Structure 1
Amino acid sequence: MEKSRGMPDFLLLFMTLALVGFGIVMVFSASYILAYYDPDYNNDSLYFVKRQALWALFGLIAMLIAMNVPYSFYKQSFPLIAFFSFLILFLVYTPLGKELNGARSWIGLGPFTLQPAEFSKVGLIIYLSGLISKKGERFRLWKNGLVPALVVTGTFFLAIAGQPDFGTGVILLMTAVVVIFSGGAHLKHLMALCIPAVAALAVMIMLAPYRIRRITTFLNPWNDGMNGLDEGYHLIQSFYAMANGGVGGVGFGKSIQKYLYLPYPQTDFIFSVMAEELGFVGCALFLLFFILFLWRIIYITTECKDTFGNLVGIGIVSMVSIQTIINIGGVTGSIPITGVPLPFISYGGSSLLVCMLSMGIILSISRETHKQGLRSQQTDRFDA
């Protein structure tokens, strides 16, 4: 254990709490109509927001713990972290497993459900970062460096894809590619991961007709949506919400589409509710804040003088960025809908908990970076 550590990056801490707070507010606005009219939620208009606030509290505790865990722990324990991250993926096949929306991706813990695949993304980031920093230049060698990274990544991906959880598997795979490439792998090396992965994705799409419909529907949702098919209908309702919001929005809490027109307004399509209520200006300000938030993580990462810290930061920024792009791209009709939540904003305990836990790891790295800066200043004064 380290006797003294630097201060965490308070700007990142504030920005994280601001995002979480904004997310809770938007979950309330997007969900209270659905929760009030649906007996599955006890006709309680506060059903979702109360649970999201509770998950935010759990996330805050997890973030503070991760922030105060010595940075060296993550670096030294990366194989163990990866092992447990992979092991919990198989809990969905035990009696604890629950099937929701056609996927057995959750485990039940009393009144709550957790999605192990969300935690595996962080576990894989830590594993790849630890492996690359340990191997150094030897990481570029096939047998001792690249093969373990590619095999572990592929194993994680197949375990998630088998649940099946297509969206999370894609995010995990793309994040791993960024970390491996940032760690020094050449493009030709990445092809050893990408080609089998693309082939596996193609097989998954061909074996599941609904995935083919998602790909074809986003190109022209009106063909299916007007006939009542889910894929087209969801996207059309999202378009209506964004069109109704216009430039300035209809005002907070005044969305029309959340009145049981827009499916999953508190999860997959929460950005559509934001667009309707806050308009183009509100969404642009949100995205600007989000970009500054990601930039702050990148700044902390680049300030760290350790390969492991650099790669963990790159991995977490990539994970959050890719998931954000996939969510917003889906609801705006730019890419097929995959059903992944908007980080920090959408309702969902696992996503929020993992996002806040990830920020705790970044804050732990920032403490190490701050300590390095203090040591450098003390050395400069001594030399002077």
Structure 2
Amino acid sequence: MKHKRGTPDFLLLFLTLGMVGFGIVMIFSASFTISYWNMGNRWFFTERQLLWAGIGFITMSITMNIPFRFYKEKFVYFLLGSILLLALVFVPGLGQLRNGARSWIGIGSFTVQPSEFAKLGLIVYLAGLMAKKGDKMRSFKHGLLPPLIITLFIFGMIAMQPDLGTGMIIVLTAGVMIIAAGANLKHILYLGLIGTIALIPIVIAKSYRVSRFTSYMDPWKDPWGSGYQLIQSLLALGNGGIFGTGFGKGIQKFFYLPYPQSDFIFSVMGEELGLVGVTLFLLIYLLLLWRALVVSLRTKDPFGALVGVGIVTLLGIQAFINIGGVTGTIPITGVPLPFISAGGSALIMSMTAMGIILSLSRENNKGQ
């Protein structure tokens, strides 16, 4: 007898597609000038994002239609696939160096960022591992230690690229999942303290990381160097005021603001849509995360709940780091804004992840 499945959560589906569509519109506004100047085609980044969104829609449709028990049964393969992809960046001729980090693999102009998919792979694996352990998660040796070792191993592979920002996102996401799985909070507190102390020499070992912190504290100390990006971002946000300059009418994207289509797209949004526009965007984004979390917590399956918590945490942390960086709340780390920033790997990963939660929603609705 064929296993009958319910309908997906349409609110979550529409919110996801709407967020992707809004991102494509903002990428056009943010990038048409630099696209025309550098590529001779003002639609260059927009066309690429449309392509990635199409691929993301396919992967989301596939993961949405795969029975959720598949993820539960095959969770180990997600970890093995993540390790393999991360290892490929170190293969000569396949791994590519960009902005000082060997974080990409590909041939010619077609490249992907394995660490993006490793985020999702680790979430599924940790959910499967910790769901099996159940109450043993209260124990350090038999519960907390195994997922901790795996997380640090993946962190180490990403830090070697080097990409400390992505590595820290993975550690924070795993930490929230471990807490949600029932780990002893005293253990988490001690590990957090040790990790913070261990991170200090890693950060100060590279001068560019130190300059990011000092420019965050006082960007005007070096306005044409380390503080330039933050100053231009703040000028964009300030120029937007309450109601913004209007769609497409921003000034800072005209070769003042670096990476306006990716890392600093929120600054363009702030300038063109104003405080009212970005507040509405943030409310809709929070609604998407809230709906994904509600769908995840409705299940009686601990594995499904942990996967959902991990995905929501991942998307929430990335949004906070991106927006916090461009607004001067925290140091800039170059993390893309999920669903909005230009970039194929991040968009495909985010849409694929939402497909997994939509698959879970079909399990929740199968009796309805």
CA contact (8 A) 2:137 2:184 kept: no
**Equivalent residue letter for 1:269:** F
Cross-structure match for 1:88 = 85
CA distance 1:153–1:2, change in 2 (3 Å): farther
Cross-structure match for 1:288 = 283
Cross-structure match for 1:137 = 135
- Residues 244-283 of structure 1 correspond to what in structure 2 (within 5 A)? 244-283=239-278
Gaps of 5+ in 1: 375-384
Give 4+ residue runs of structure 1 displaced > 4 Å after superposition: none
Cross-structure match for 1:20 = 20
Structure 2: how far apart are the matches of 1:2 and 1:323? 39
- Residues 1-384 of structure 1 correspond to what in structure 2 (within 5 A)? 3-38=3-38, 42-94=39-91, 95-191=93-189, 193-225=191-223, 228-229=224-225, 231-371=226-366, 373-374=367-368
CA contact (8 A) 2:139 2:184 kept: no
Aligned-residue CA RMSD (Å): 1.3
CA contact (8 A) 1:154 1:197 kept: no
Q: CA deviation at 1:47?
A: 0.7
CA contact (8 A) 1:2 1:70 kept: no
Q: Please give the per-residue CA displacement for 1:264-321, whole angstroms capped at 9, x wherever unaligned.
A: 0001000000000000000000001011111101110121111011111110110000
**SS, match of residue 259 in structure 2:** coil
**Equivalent residue letter for 2:364:** T
Structure 1: how far apart are the matches of 2:176 and 2:69? 23
Return 14-23 or 87-96, whichever deviates more.
Answer: 87-96
**Equivalent residue letter for 2:333:** T
Structure 2: how far apart are the matches of 1:269 and 1:201? 26
Q: Please give the per-residue CA displacement for 1:204-241, whole angstroms capped at 9, x wherever unaligned.
A: 2111011011111111100111xx10x30000000110
TM-score, normalised relative to structure 2: 0.97
Aligned length: 367
Structure 2: how far apart are the matches of 1:142 and 1:288? 38
Q: Please give the per-residue CA displacement for 1:64-109, whole angstroms capped at 9, x wherever unaligned.
A: 0000111001111111111111221011111211111111101124
Structure 2: how far apart are the matches of 1:129 and 1:107? 27
Q: CA deviation at 1:329?
A: 0.2
Return 87-96 or 338-347, whichever deviates more.
Answer: 87-96
**Equivalent residue letter for 1:158:** G
CA contact (8 A) 1:330 1:338 kept: yes
Q: CA deviation at 1:139?
A: 2.5
TM-score, normalised relative to structure 1: 0.93
**Equivalent residue letter for 1:280:** L
Structure 1: how far apart are the matches of 2:2 and 2:121? 23
**SS, match of residue 346 in structure 1:** coil
**SS, match of residue 89 in structure 2:** helix
Q: Please give the per-residue CA displacement for 1:22-57, whole angstroms capped at 9, x wherever unaligned.
A: 00000111011011112xxx2211110000000000
Q: Please give the per-residue CA displacement for 1:337-377, whole angstroms capped at 9, x wherever unaligned.
A: 00000000000001000000000000000001112x43xxx
Structure 2: how far apart are the matches of 1:337 and 1:125? 25
**Equivalent residue letter for 2:57:** L
**Equivalent residue letter for 2:209:** R
Structure 1: how far apart are the matches of 2:107 and 2:190? 38
Q: CA deviation at 1:198?
A: 2.5
Identity percentage of aligned residues: 55
**Equivalent residue letter for 2:353:** S
CA contact (8 A) 2:270 2:277 kept: yes
